[in-house]
Amino acid sequence: MEVALSILTACLSINELKEQVLEAFASWLRLKHGITGSVLASHPLVLTALSSLNLEPLSEASVNVISELIHYTAAGSSGGVAVQMPLIQVLVPQVMSLKAHLKDSSKDEEDVKAIARLFADMGDSYVELIATGSGESMLIVNALLEVASHPEYYIASMTFNFWHSLQVILTKRDSYLPFGNEASIEVERKRRQDAFVPSYESLVSLVSFRVEYPQDYLDLSHEDRKEFKQTRYAVADVLTDAASVLGGDATLQILYKKLVEAVSRCGNGENNEWRPVEAALFCIRAISNYVSVVEAEVMPQVMALIPKLPQQPQLLQTVCLTIGAYSKWLDSASIGPSILPSLIDTLLGAMGTSEDSAAAAALAFRHICDVSGEGSFKVTAEDSLHLVEALSMVITELPPDNAKRALEALCLPVVTPLQEAVNQGQEILNKRPARELTVHIDRFAYIFRYVKHPEAVADAIQKLWPIFKAIFDLRAWDMRTMESLCRACKYAVRTSGRFMGITIGAMLEEIQGLYKQHHQSCFLYLSSEVIKIFGSDPSCANYLKNLIESLFIHTTLLLTNIQEFTARPDIADDCFLLASRCIRYCPQLFIPSEVFQSLVDCSMIGITVQHREASNSILTFLSDIFDIANSSKGEQYLPIRDSVLIPRGPSITRILIASLTGALPSSRLEPVTYTLLSLTRAYGVRAVEWAKECVSLIPLTAVTEVERSRFLKALSDAASGFDINSMTVPIEEMADVCRRNRTVQEIVQGALRPLELNLTPVS
């Protein structure tokens, strides 16, 4: 090394070789042979390089030498900073003397770049010395801030590594261990960090504008766009370094001021006004992990501004990502629940703005759902379901393979708490409030309802079935849990359809067995959905025939009198809704079966139940039977229908007229009237005779002969094929006459006595 340096020194006398000599010297320095700083500090090669820094144009070779000398002084192989201090004391003042050139507009840009490189090298190499916060080190820091403020990003970014390294030293506890006890460590840590607070505050302001979208962004090439994104990521890293030193809340204060300024300019209608707003919001998002979840001064104002911002695609994308980034703050903030609905509206709007904003909104929903899935999010159950709904709608728009993976990811945080609950065993599970289970099961219902990928949902329900079955078995006594679980299964069946495969058989077997034990009406409405989807499928005929016969036989044994209908209106409602579904979707299984007659008898008992939904379901069931000839394949079932209904015709007519004239509230007149007219159209003159026999039981003190005649004339016209809409007025008049006061109503009901009919089974 010494021989080489001697030769190079000798060559300095040849002026034409000076640049080559300095380049060669720089190359030798990279080998880092252990020459002491005191020797190099006065070496002719070093002095020549230093003097060349002031030449015009700036000597590139001299810059390379000084750069290598700076690295050399910090290298462990050269003895480190302490050994090389004499050389450092020579280098630093010389480099610092170049600071004024950083803002010299007459200076060539390449020269400025070279000078900036020297300052960056000093920062990186001497960061541990600088971190002491001495007066001399702060001069270097200020120079580095000058570099960071340069308008050209590639120059300013030379300092980014320094700010990160300095942050690590300032915040890492190991840096302070030499100071002994905890008290001394804390004092020194605070002194140093306080010393650098102004520098990092300035840094935040200096770099934040660099993330602003260029005006020609849409015209940029793919590579240029990629480079711009890398710039934003690099600036985000610098901001997190600053937040580590300043604290997230203090950094947020600085960035919020920039957001307010940008929004103000946006309100004044300046060109491209959304770009500074987006830039400020991007920076606020970048430091989200450093902002306290209890920050109550700035974040509420930021969130209040968000719904008011322009619906520009890039801005909206950043808005969505910011909402997602602060999901934990929304969870903890006292005003989070009041702000969340407007933010959800913003996210939903973003779903239809652009692909990028939709993806960002989906990610935001996922973050919010993740927090909600932990059971801590302070939103209503309804708001939580809206989040799941929105995510499910996003999954619907994905290609099948992606949708399947996304659906699995969405189900995972929902299924985990259910699996944990099941694993606790029956004794503990039975003690848990229903709400602790249904809050998760209801989310499955929304997922299966809104994810419109049949195969993906079928695959999901197949994987989930063991957990669902366990809950069915362990909580079958719990109406709320069963209703929630059946609702989820209903939507799974509706969405998956015939992709469900073997799962549908297992589901039918489960509800068929549980209904006999626990009489939950939700098993009936789940069966209704199954009938709708699979009723016409010949391969399911045996399953479904066994199902409906089992359910209907057991129901008719429960509903043997009007008191049972009154006590179990939900069972009555869902039973006859299921029966109507059977008439529409699988009459070939239902009408020829033995349960058809039993169910007609059961319906006659329950027509006058006061529960609105139960009564309407029974009336709909009867009118569906009467109207069966109107369907394309209904005529083949008329002999069976008539064999059951004609013997019961007088009784059914009597109950319907009793319902019309007071046995049911006046609010039921429309369905009762329609059912009576359907019966009349189905059986014509015979039905009119049944009605005449019934009306004759009513004393003339309640209904005059003229009123009877008008009523019977309307039924006769209906039997003759007249439009039934024109028949409703005389029938309603009959109802009004019989309901005109309590006395008349009691006379009519006493005559018709719908609850005292003797129903004799017909063989």
CA 760 to chain centre: 58
Mean pLDDT of 231-251: 95
Other beta carbons within 10 Å of 222: 7
pLDDT in tens, 317-365: 999 999 999 988 888 877 766 777 788 788 877 876 777 887 788 788 7
Mean pLDDT of 474-482: 92
CA distance 301 to 747: 70
Residue 183: pLDDT over 50: yes
Name the band, by pLDDT with cuts 50, 70 and 90, for residue 762: very low
Residue 278: pLDDT over 80: yes
- Locate 611 and state its tokens: 């529960």
pTM, entire model: 0.59
Do the Cβ atoms of 630 and 653 come closer than 8 Å?
Answer: no
Do the Cβ atoms of 116 and 151 come closer than 8 Å?
Answer: no
Do the Cβ atoms of 562 and 608 come closer than 8 Å?
Answer: yes
Residue 266: pLDDT over 80: no
Residue 368: pLDDT over 80: no
CA distance 556 to 519: 12
Interior angle at CA 479, CA 476 and CA 484, nearest 5? 90
Mean pLDDT of 72-80: 77
Name the band, by pLDDT with cuts 50, 70 and 90, for residue 277: very high
What pLDDT does 27 receive? 86
Residue 34: pLDDT over 70: no
